[in-house]
Amino acid sequence: MQRTVFYLSGSTGITAEKLGQSLLAQFSNLELDHITLPFIDTVEKAEDTVSMINIVGQKDTARPIIFDTLIDQEIKDTLKTADAFFIDVFGTYLKPLERELASNSLQQPGMSHKISEEDKYHDRIEAMNFALTNDDGARTQQYDNADIILTGVSRCGKTPICLYLALQFGIRAANYPLTVDDIDTGNLPRILIKHRHKLFGLTTDPERLSKVRNERQPNSRYAALRQCRFEVNEVEQLMDRHRIPYLNTSNHSIEEISSKVVTTSGLKKRC
């Protein structure tokens, strides 16, 4: 069985991809090729797209599946001539929404990822700069401006979450690693105690931590399973004592962890 999924859009194609991938993830044992064709903004490009879809479909053993978020009616009509199974997102939902909102839709492509609001773009870039500047405990003077401070043992996955929170939601996230020295004192570093209400802990399974650390520093004491077990255990106890909420990141995607951090801590998304 050879079959292809196309994500077609007049803009980035991100909405079509997210929707299609969510729906198709509900089917097991599918072997599908995935092709995203964004920025289909002229009838000529739509005609080329139809040719491509039909060629691919003839090579495959079943007709292509298409998720499209096209708006322009002439372009849509052209695409619909392709021999494929269509999931037409705007076609399905715009009319019911127009009735519910008692308002006509704009019928303009690419509205959702435009910088319609300059401030939101600015927020995301500022948040990214904040995450980079305040990564790995590098600086602590800006913690007054942080929305959240992630903490946990070294290499438990704090940096990708900080950057994801910044780029997706404009949230300013710093991160501070808890080291063996911190564990030895038996207390949180003073700078973290000062900002205790902004703290959120990430933890991980010692086996996974050991694997990740071994890629960085093979066969080191730092990467030894025994050491990882010790650190994780001590840091979790420390967080329990200080009533810092925390989350085990093992077996969770960046999206899942970020969503849980936002929800649990009641953070407000800026975009």
Give me the residues that bind a second copy (CB under 8 A), please.
11-15, 18-19, 21-30, 36, 38-39, 65, 69, 71, 85, 87, 89-90, 92-94, 96-97, 100-101, 103, 105-108, 110-115, 121, 124-125, 128, 132, 157, 159-160, 163-164, 167, 251-256, 258-260, 263, 269
Q: How far is the CB of 270 from a second copy (least distance, A)?
A: 12
Q: Which residue number, 38 or 189, has a Cβ lying nearer to a second copy? A: 38
CB of 10 to a second copy, least distance (A): 11
Among 231, 256, 220, 68, which residue's Cα sits nearest to residue 152? Answer: 231
Residue whose CB is less far from a second copy, 34 or 241 = 34
- Among 187, 102, 191, residue whose Cα is nearest residue 149: 191
Nearer Cβ to a second copy (21/81): 21
The tokens for 72 are 């322009």
Minimum gap (Å) between residue 152 Cβ and a second copy = 15
Region for residue 166 given its phi and psi (left: phi exceeds 0; alpha: psi -120 to 50; beta: otherwise): alpha
- 28 or 219: CB nearest a second copy: 28
Q: Are 70 and 107 in contact (CB under 8 A)?
A: no
Which residue number, 10 or 206, has a Cβ lying nearer to a second copy?
10
Both tokens of 148, joined, read: 């959240």
User: What is d(CA 244, CA 267) in angstroms, rounded to the nearest whole number?
Assistant: 15
Question: How buried is residue 61: exposed, middle or buried, by Cβ count under 10 Å (0-12/13-18/19+)?
Answer: exposed
Min CB(193)–a second copy separation in Å = 29
* CA 17/CA 36 separation, integer angstroms: 7
